[in-house]
């Protein structure tokens, strides 16, 4: 991972994990920088944020990079841990989790949905490298149709969460998420602005951020580890929501903003508990 801004690193990140052990050309660093940039632009300090991470490339590479407190969950469970932590933390502390697509949309989908359902204040950044890359490159539930991976040598043909008109965002919106956005790694400042809104939303926010994996995904699907090719491949398939057409795989921008539409989970729980404690009823 490359960080152009040395000041961001100094202020927020642990130098011990920078540079990371990510593969050359990995797009995760761009996503990571988008998030840190958003935090900086909001004027937040390392102690304002507790950073959670998942299993897989996205989790492992971002774990213990944050200068403040950080935790990593078992595969798919970081959302449930974050939900319990939300109850214990003061409301002004933010929880940001950088996770992968397999973690969020595969093994952890039920826990993710229940965090959305309860509108627990946390910002989930799903760094989608289009499959299970840390295990060598198998398809996931948001891998584009037809993509060749180690476990889809004939092309990915299963129905998934991003094919045939499906979009994982619909599930999360239906589950009660109060802020949803999608950006590809090369969206730059547009992505930073969305992440800022996600962090500010006092409730469940998720930003889906597909990013290029030159080593495994690109080498199988494009036959090349040249990062330029996979960056172009992703860029060609992404369009802002308002311009999206039938060839668009990733419609980008703010998908859903229901900030303030219903009470935040821990606030609601504590208000209810305090009322029961005082009056014996709700």
Partner 1 sequence: MKRFLETGNFAITEGAILAGCRFFCGYPITPATELAEAMSKRLPQEGGVYLQAEDECGAMHVCIGASLGGMKAMTATSGPGYILYADPFGWALGCEMPLVVVNSGRVGPVSGITGAPGQGEFYLTRYPTQGGNFECITLAPNSAQEAMAMVVEAFYLAERFRMPITVLGDQLITDGFEDITVPENEDEMKEMGFRTWPRGSCAGPNFYPFTDDLDIPPVQMGSGAGGLCSDWTPTVEGYDIEEVEAHHKHAYRLIYKVRNHRDLFNHLYEKKYMDDDPDLVVVSYGTPSRVVNTAVDKARSLGMKVGALRLINLWPFPDEHFTRKTKYLTVELNWDGQLVREVQRAAPKDAAVHFLGTCGDLPTIPDLLENFEKLLKNQPLERKGWELEAW
């958003």: which residue's tokens? 38
47 binds partner 1 (CB under 8 A): yes
Angstrom distance (rounded) from CA 127 to CA 61: 11
Does the CA dihedral 18-41-114-270 come out positive or negative?
positive
Establish whether the linkage from the previous residue to 158 is cis, with ω within 30° of 0.
Answer: no
- How many other CB atoms sit within 10 Å of the CB of residue 60? 18
58 binds partner 1 (CB under 8 A): no
Angstrom distance (rounded) from CA 176 to CA 87: 18
Stretch of 130-138, 150-158, 229-237, 273-281 contacting partner 1, by CB under 8 A: 273-281
Stretch of 73-81, 190-198, 212-220, 221-229 contacting partner 1, by CB under 8 A: 73-81
Angstrom distance (rounded) from CA 167 to CA 160: 9
88 binds partner 1 (CB under 8 A): yes
Residues pairing with 208 in the sheet: 126, 182
Angstrom distance (rounded) from CA 263 to CA 204: 11
Which of these, 89, 103, 114, lies nearest to 177 by C-alpha position?
114
175 binds partner 1 (CB under 8 A): no
CB of 141 to partner 1, least distance (A): 18
Angstrom distance (rounded) from CA 87 to CA 30: 31
Number of residues that bind partner 1 (CB under 8 A): 42
Establish whether the linkage from the previous residue to 19 is cis, with ω within 30° of 0.
Answer: yes
CB of 221 to partner 1, least distance (A): 29
Stretch of 88-96, 150-158, 206-214, 234-242 contacting partner 1, by CB under 8 A: 88-96
Per CB under 8 A, the list member of 174, 261, 271, 276 interacting with partner 1 is 276
CB of 273 to partner 1, least distance (A): 5
Stretch of 56-64, 173-181, 197-205, 244-252 contacting partner 1, by CB under 8 A: 56-64
53 binds partner 1 (CB under 8 A): yes
Stretch of 85-93, 176-184, 196-204, 237-245 contacting partner 1, by CB under 8 A: 85-93
81 binds partner 1 (CB under 8 A): yes
Give the H or E element holding residue 9: helix 6-12
CB of 81 to partner 1, least distance (A): 4
Per CB under 8 A, the list member of 40, 41, 69, 150 interacting with partner 1 is 69
Q: Are 61 and 1 in contact (CB under 8 A)?
A: yes
32 binds partner 1 (CB under 8 A): no
279 binds partner 1 (CB under 8 A): no
Stretch of 4-12, 190-198, 200-208, 272-280 contacting partner 1, by CB under 8 A: 272-280
Residues pairing with 253 in the sheet: 182
Residues 6+ apart with CB under 8 A from 194: 181, 183, 207, 253, 254
List residues binding partner 1 (CB under 8 A): 16-17, 47, 50, 53, 55, 60, 63-64, 67-74, 77, 80-90, 93, 110-111, 113-114, 269-270, 272-274, 276-277, 280
């Amino acid at each position: 991972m490359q960080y152009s801004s040395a000041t961001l690193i100094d202020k927020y990140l642990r130098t011990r994990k920078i540079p990371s052990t990510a593969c050359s050309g990995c797009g995760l660093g761009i996503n990571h920088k988008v998030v840190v940039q958003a935090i900086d632009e909001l004027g937040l300090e390392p102690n304002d944020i507790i950073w959670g991470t998942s299993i897989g490339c996205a989790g492992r590479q971002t774990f213990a990079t944050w200068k403040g407190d950080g935790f990593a969950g078992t595969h798919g469970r970081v959302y449930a841990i974050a939900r319990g932590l939300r109850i214990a933390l003061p409301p002004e502390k933010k929880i940001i989790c950088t996770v992968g697509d397999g973690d969020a949309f595969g093994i952890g989908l039920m826990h993710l949905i229940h965090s959305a359902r309860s509108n627990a204040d946390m910002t989930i950044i799903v760094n989608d490298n289009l499959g299970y890359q840390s295990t060598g490159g198998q398809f996931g539930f948001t891998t584009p149709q037809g993509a060749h991976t180690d476990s889809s040598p004939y092309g990915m043909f299963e129905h998934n969460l991003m094919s045939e008109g499906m979009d994982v965002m619909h599930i999360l919106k239906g589950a009660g998420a109060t802020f949803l956005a999608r950006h590809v790694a090369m969206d730059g400042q547009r992505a930073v602005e969305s992440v800022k809104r996600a962090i500010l939303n006092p409730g469940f926010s998720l930003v889906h951020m597909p990013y290029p994996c030159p080593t495994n995904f690109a080498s199988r699907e494009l036959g090349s580890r040249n990062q330029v090719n996979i960056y172009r491949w992703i860029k060609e398939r992404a369009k802002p929501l308002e311009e999206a057409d039938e060839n668009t795989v990733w419609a980008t921008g703010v998908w859903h903003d229901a900030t303030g539409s219903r009470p935040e989970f821990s606030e609601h729980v504590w208000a209810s508990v305090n009322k029961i404690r005082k009056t014996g009823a709700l």
